[in-house]
């Protein structure tokens, strides 16, 4: 373990009441991010694409991509833009799993505002490959899904939808390359469990929505009902 990592861990343990984003004191002793920083998140407000949640500054119902694409999900629901404080929190979440509570809280607020909670059967995190999960120690989407499941009293299913192939990082690939990269990377172990069930899938960031689409396609092929995608940030 590097000295800086040990120092971070010690500081986090003894001084947890400091905002992880700006370093200022946090009034609420249980919180890890201050109110000012939470208020600075660039939440997505209308008008946005009714399918993929992409902000549409010029108005309209759908973005150009969604006008020409038929997705297997009903829609994407996102907390905010992948910028500023939200981006910072998502990046920090890769090392600091205690951020799960605040991030899951943001997801919960956004979900209840945008969806009929009664209609949800299962919450399913987008799986990481076994190798990635081992390297990181946890699946971030899984941690968020677990908290949401508890708060909403919904079942979280994280062992039936799995990643069977390691994919290269998506960010440096074109849309076509991303599609090839994702092909055959997901698998449903027991389709009977998902049959007719309405599912909310959880991921951290939606950029092209291709991971969400590939996940939805595989879940639908396994007989799932409606799929909604809940993400922290829309890039």
Judged by CB under 5 A, does residue 188 bind Zn ion? Answer: no
Judged by CB under 5 A, does residue 51 bind Zn ion? Answer: yes
The answer to whether residues 41 and 84 touch, using CB atoms and an 8 Å cutoff, is yes
The count of residues interacting with Zn ion (CB under 5 A) is 11
| Omega of the bond leading into 47 within 30 degrees of 0 (cis) | yes
Judged by CB under 5 A, does residue 86 bind Zn ion? Answer: no
Among 154, 147, 182, 186, CA closest to 168? 182
Judged by CB under 5 A, does residue 19 bind Zn ion? Answer: yes
Judged by CB under 5 A, does residue 219 bind Zn ion? Answer: no
Considering only the stretches 50-58, 97-105, 163-171, 222-230, report the one whose residues sit in contact with Zn ion under the rule CB under 5 A: 50-58
Judged by CB under 5 A, does residue 102 bind Zn ion? Answer: no
Judged by CB under 5 A, does residue 32 bind Zn ion? Answer: no
Judged by CB under 5 A, does residue 78 bind Zn ion? Answer: no
Q: Exposed (0-12), middle (13-18) or buried (19+): which is 10, by Cβ within 10 Å?
A: exposed
Judged by CB under 5 A, does residue 76 bind Zn ion? Answer: no
Among 192, 195, 227, CA closest to 209? 227
Of the pair 89, 104, the CB lying nearest Zn ion is at 89
| Sole binder of Zn ion in the list 41, 52, 79, 218 (CB under 5 A) | 52
The answer to whether residues 204 and 210 touch, using CB atoms and an 8 Å cutoff, is no
Judged by CB under 5 A, does residue 21 bind Zn ion? Answer: yes
Copy the structure tokens of residue 147: 């908290």
Copy the structure tokens of residue 192: 């009977």
Q: How far apart are CA 157 and CA 164, in angstroms?
A: 17
| Sole binder of Zn ion in the list 17, 18, 22, 133 (CB under 5 A) | 22
Judged by CB under 5 A, does residue 20 bind Zn ion? Answer: no
Output the smallest distance, CB 50 to Zn ion, in A.
Answer: 8
Copy the structure tokens of residue 63: 């973005």
Alpha helices in 15-83 (DSSP H): 35-39, 64-68
Footprint of Zn ion on this chain (CB under 5 A)?
Answer: 19, 21-22, 34, 37, 49, 51-52, 54, 63, 66
């Amino acid at each position: 373990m590097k000295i800086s990592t040990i120092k971070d861990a010690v500081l986090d343990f003894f001084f947890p009441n400091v905002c992880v984003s700006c370093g200022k004191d946090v009034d609420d002793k249980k919180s890890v991010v201050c109110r000012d920083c939470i208020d600075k998140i660039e939440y997505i407000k209308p008008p946005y694409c009714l399918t993929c949640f992409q902000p549409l500054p010029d108005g309209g119902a759908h973005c150009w991509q969604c006008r020409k694409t038929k997705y297997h999900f009903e829609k994407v629901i996102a907390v905010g833009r992948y910028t500023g404080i939200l981006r910072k929190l998502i990046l920090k979440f890769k090392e600091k799993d205690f951020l799960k509570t605040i991030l899951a809280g943001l997801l919960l607020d956004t979900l209840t505002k945008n969806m009929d909670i009664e209609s949800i059967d299962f919450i399913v995190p987008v799986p990481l490959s076994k190798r990635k999960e081992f390297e990181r120690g946890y699946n971030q989407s899984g941690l968020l899904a677990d908290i949401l499941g508890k708060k909403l009293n919904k079942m979280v299913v994280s062992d039936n939808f799995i990643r069977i192939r390691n994919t290269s990082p998506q960010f440096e690939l074109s849309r076509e390359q991303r599609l090839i990269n994702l092909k055959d990377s997901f698998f449903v172990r027991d389709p009977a469990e998902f049959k007719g069930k309405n599912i909310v899938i959880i991921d951290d960031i939606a950029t092209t929505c291709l991971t969400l689409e590939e996940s939805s396609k595989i879940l639908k092929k396994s007989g799932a009902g409606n799929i909604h995608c809940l993400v922290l940030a829309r890039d």
